[in-house]
Amino acid sequence: MTPLHLGTCHLTLGIACLAIGIAFIGLHAVRDGRSAGSNWSLAAICQGVAWILAGMRGNLPAALSIMLPHVLMAANAVLLLRGAACYMPAPPPCLHKSQPWMGLLLAAALLSLILGAAVRVPLLLAAGVLLFLHAPRNGRAILCALFGIDAAWHLLPAIAGTSAMSPAGELLRGALPILVIAAQFRIESDNARAALHALADALELESLQLEQTIDDRNRALHEIATTDFLTGIANRRQFMARTEMEIERSRRYGHELSLLMIDIDHFKAINDSFGHPTGDQAIAAIGRHCATACRRSDLAARLGGEEFAVVLPSTGIKEAQVVAERLRAGTLALQIRHEGRAVPLSLSIGIACLGAEDTGPDTLLARADRALYAAKNAGRDCVRVAETAA
C-alpha cells in the first residue's frame, strides 16, 4: 500500500482549512475582529495557506515554503488567542485596539523564525485559560480540550525527539482547527436559537400588550360613543339603539314595554339664578338618580340638555307609573346647594307604553314626549301617561 506523503497531507489539510475558514467567515456579520468566530475563521485561513505553502515545499523558494508558513502559523495562534479574548465580559480597552495585537503578531512571527511552531504553545495555553474562564458552558469543555491538544501536539515532537509528526499524525492534527470552528458554530447556533426564543417571547409579550392596548382603546372609544360625558349614563345614540332592540324583543315574545320621558322643571331659571356650573351639577345629580332608581334591565339616558329618558323592558303602564313616581319623589330629596342656598329640583315625567301604532323608538318617544308636555301643562312636578290609539 502506498504510504501517505507529508506534502500531500499538507495540501489536503490546507485546502480543507482554507475552504472552511472562508465559508465560516462568510456567515459573520461582524468581520472586524470583535467576535470569536471571525478571528478563528481568519486563523483557519492562515493555517490553510500555511499548509498549502508547506505542501509545495521543493516547488517554491524556501522563503515561501518554509519561512512564510512559520509566520502564518504564528498569526494563526495570535488570532486564536484574540478570538478567545472576545469572550471576556469586560476586556481591557487595549484589547479593542489593533496595535497591541499587531505587536504581538510581529513578535510571534519573529520568534517563529527562530523557535519554529513551538512559539504557538504559550499563545494556545493562554487562549485555553481565557476560554476556561469565560467561554459559554455549551462549548467550553470541547474548546479547552482542542486548544490543549493543539498545544500538546507541538510539544510531542520535542518529547519524542523527532523534528516533525508523521503524515498520519498531521492528518489528525488537521482536524483540530475544523473542530474548533465546528464548536464555535455550535456555540453561535445555540446563542442564535436562544436569542430567537427570547425575541419570540418578547414579540409575543409585546403582541399581548398591544392587543390589550387595542382592547382598552376600543372600550374607551365605545364608552365615549355611547356615554354622556356629564352624567356617565347612556347618551341619545345608545338609548335609541337599545330601545329599538327592546322593542323588537318585546314584540317577538309578546312582552310589555314602557318608556319614560323626563325633564328638569324650570332648568333655565336654575342656570340664571345659580349659574351654569350649578346647572351642570343638577344634571349630573338627576342622571345618577335615574340610574340608581332603575333595575339592571332598564336603561337610563340623557337625551340632551335637561331631558332624560328611561326604557323599561317587560314593564306595563302601572309598574311604569310606580317607577316614575319613585323618580319624581326621590328628586325632591336631592341636595344641591350653591353658596349655602338650596337649589330646588323637581321633575316632570311622561309615560308611553308600547302599542301597535309604534313603528320604532321615534314614535314611542314622541308619544312619551306629548305626555311630558301634558305634565308640564298640569303644573310640573307630576307624572302623566300618554293616550293610546283608539
Residues acting as catalytic residues = 306
Cell of 3: 504510504
CB 17: neighbour CB atoms within 10 A? Answer: 26
* Cα(164)–Cα(69) distance, integer angstroms: 14
Enclosing H/E stretch for 207: helix 167-226
Cell of 365: 318617544
R_g of the chain computed on alpha carbons = 46
Enclosing H/E stretch for 263: strand 257-264
Q: Are 309 and 303 in contact (CB under 8 A)?
A: yes
* Cα(346)–Cα(266) distance, integer angstroms: 8
Enclosing H/E stretch for 267: helix 267-274
Q: What SS3 state is found at 264?
A: strand
Q: Is 355 exposed, middle or buried (0-12, 13-18, 19+ CB in 10 A)?
A: middle
> Residue 37: which of 173, 182, 198, 193 has the closest Cα?
182
> What is the residue whose three cell numbers read 301597535?
356
Q: Are 209 and 203 in contact (CB under 8 A)?
A: no
* Cα(65)–Cα(67) distance, integer angstroms: 6
Length of the chain: 390
Q: Are 151 and 119 in contact (CB under 8 A)?
A: no
Residues 6+ apart with CB under 8 A from 239: 299, 301, 303, 309, 311
CB-based burial, 299-333: b 16+ in 10 Å, e otherwise: bbbbbeebbbbbbbbbbeeeebbebbeebbeebee
* Cα(349)–Cα(307) distance, integer angstroms: 10
